[in-house]
Amino acid sequence: MNSKLLVFISFAVWSFICWRWYVCGIKQVCASTAAATADVIQTPAIEPDTIDLSGSAPAAYQTKPPAASKPMTSSISEVQMEEVEDRMVIYFPYNSIRREDNDGIDEYLTRLAAYLIESNRKISVTGHADFVGGAKYNKQFGLQRAATIRNNLIKKGVNKSQVSINSYGESKAIATNDTPQGRYKNRRVEIRVK
């Protein structure tokens, strides 16, 4: 066998192994290629709280923003949300800023918008990212996630001055970046009522 051909074949095999490790191991996109190409995010619907928005809201509703009513699943290929202490956290799949395709989160944001309009309170929306990519890129990506949530609330009637946005990028990780589940938890937006 020709030595140049052997070197070429070795290089091709090595390149394929590295590419596969990067795509499947780090980016976690090899199993969800069809969903990634369509850029569609599915998640179970979150049932709305029973709130009467015709007239004045109940006293409990005026003092507390709406909450999620279903627990998170273990899928990292879906947008999900979870209530954590004093904030609502929305988790994103890899390389995603979209939440428009998620009926449960849209329902939550509709209820949150109604709450903000009724109470005239303010919220902060903070975007975060995992460590994949550069620090500057991740900070910008986190800001895009936060802006997506803010823009959706504004479309629902919330005054722009009621929603402040910020991004910490990869600097405030809440889980390890060594596992796919940890990176998923770091790709998030946190919504806090002030």
pLDDT of residue 53: 37
**What pLDDT is attached to residue 28?**
59
Pairwise CA distance, residues 87 & 154, whole Å: 19
* Residue ranges in the chain modelled with pLDDT below 50: 32-63, 69-71, 99-100
| pLDDT score at 64 | 52
* pTM (predicted TM-score): 0.60
pLDDT at 97: 58
User: Cα separations (Å) of 177 from 36, 48, 131, 163?
Assistant: 21, 33, 7, 29
> pLDDT digits over 36-73, tens only?
333 333 333 333 343 333 344 434 334 455 555 444 55
